[in-house]
């Protein structure tokens, strides 16, 4: 579960510039370290810690090689990644050159099983302003007076 808190900000652009605005931000980041990942894989498989670390290092090296070649990599049921270099739109054909190319980036496409898990995320916003104050008025015993039920 991700628990959010209310954060006050001053808007810097747009028609409401300079006005206060409120948004929900996570109270604490849910970050899992590579050490946690290694320990989890060791616990759930028959691999040793050294084996898992070697696999991760090898995977990193393979990804670096594929990205430097401008290729794509499919990692099974997890995700696929591809290198993308887009181009500026030039007015004349002869103006298209290496300088027309934009900065390369990597596009990660999550597989369906991972995308479905996004719908399973439980969220809660801790907003004291929305909490109803407790009623101090006591109700009479017997259900509140009036006419008795026939």
Residue pLDDT, tens place only, 42-73: 999 999 999 999 999 999 999 999 999 999 99
What are the distances in angstroms from CA 3 to CA 121, 122, 126, 127? 11, 9, 7, 10
Q: What was the pLDDT predicted at 129?
A: 86
34/66 Cα distance (integer angstroms) = 22
Q: What was the pLDDT predicted at 100?
A: 95
Q: Which residue has the higher pLDDT, 143 or 126?
A: 126
Structural tokens at position 55: 């696999």
In this prediction the pTM is 0.67
């Amino acid at each position: 579960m991700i628990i959010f808190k209310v954060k006050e900000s001053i808007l810097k652009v747009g028609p409401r510039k300079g006005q206060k605005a409120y948004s929900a931000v996570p109270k604490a980041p849910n970050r899992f370290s590579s050490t946690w990942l290694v320990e989890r894989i060791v616990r759930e498989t028959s691999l040793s810690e050294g084996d898992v670390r070697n696999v991760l290092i090898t995977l990193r090296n393979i990804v670096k090689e594929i990205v430097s070649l401008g290729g794509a990599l499919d990692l099974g049921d997890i995700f696929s990644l591809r290198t993308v270099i887009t181009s500026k739109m030039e007015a004349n054909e002869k103006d298209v050159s290496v300088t027309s190319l934009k900065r390369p980036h990597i596009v990660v496409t999550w597989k369906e099983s991972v995308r479905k898990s996004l719908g399973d995320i439980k969220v809660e916003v801790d907003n004291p302003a929305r909490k109803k104050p407790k009623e101090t008025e006591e109700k009479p015993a017997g259900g509140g007076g009036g006419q008795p039920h026939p």
